[in-house]
């Protein structure tokens, strides 16, 4: 009975709920599937140093070093290393093997292809340089990991709210 009442009298309310849910899904994933507010750059080729160590530096938009900034390195959405920059903005993350990674920091997101020193192409850099464009948001959430839970919570809240609203309005019409 409630379903026929909703579809007959308030189809636009259900349509609005669906549009809201789709908008939340789109904003959670962003146009590129990267976290909203991140700065994504083209893949950089970088050569490893001894013991599989990646070297890098983070600078602010004016070229000043970012001291004590967190740097995380992920491979296939899994955290494989973490470091904090020194006062010169430099960092090193050890124990890495050649492959494709993603660096996340206050400067944004940087895809890197890491090479063993003896197999690195001539264009590979000895260190990765991350320059903040001032657009990266603090306290970003990895929506690829948490997106399904967020979308589920939004959908559950919409369904619950619409159900209570429909029951409340259905009781008003019966009296």
- Quickly state the pLDDT bin for 52 (edges 50, 70, 90): very high
CA atoms of 6 and 14, how far apart (whole Å)? 8
Domain locations in the chain?
Answer: 2-32+144-174, 40-139
In this prediction, residues 74-99 reach a mean pLDDT of 95
Q: What is the pLDDT of residue 107?
A: 87
- Quickly state the pLDDT bin for 132 (edges 50, 70, 90): confident
- Residue 48 near residue 96 (C-beta atoms within 8 A): yes
CA distances from 97 to 75, 94, 102 (A): 11, 9, 13
The domain defined by 40-139 folds into Immunoglobulin-like (2.60.40)
Say what percent of the chain tops pLDDT 90. Answer: 46
The pTM of this model reads: 0.56
CA angle 44, 48, 52 (to 5 degrees): 130
- Residue 132 near residue 109 (C-beta atoms within 8 A): no
């Amino acid at each position: 009975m409630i379903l026929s009442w909703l579809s007959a009298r308030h189809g636009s309310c259900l349509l609005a709920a669906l549009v809201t849910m789709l908008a939340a899904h789109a904003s959670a994933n962003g146009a590129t599937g990267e976290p909203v507010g991140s700065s994504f750059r083209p893949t950089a080729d970088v050569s490893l140093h001894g013991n599989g160590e990646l070297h890098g530096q983070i600078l602010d938009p004016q070229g000043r070093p970012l001291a004590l900034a967190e740097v995380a390195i992920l491979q296939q959405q899994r955290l494989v290393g973490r470091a904090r920059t020194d006062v010169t903005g430099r960092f090193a993350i050890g124990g890495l093997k050649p492959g494709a990674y993603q660096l996340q920091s206050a400067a944004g997101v940087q895809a890197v292809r890491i090479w063993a020193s003896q197999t690195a192409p001539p264009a590979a850099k000895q260190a990765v340089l991350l320059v903040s464009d001032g657009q990266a948001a603090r306290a970003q959430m990895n929506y690829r990991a948490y997106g399904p839970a967020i979308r589920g919570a939004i959908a559950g809240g919409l369904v619950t709210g619409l159900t209570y609203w429909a029951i409340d309005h259905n009781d008003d019409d019966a009296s």
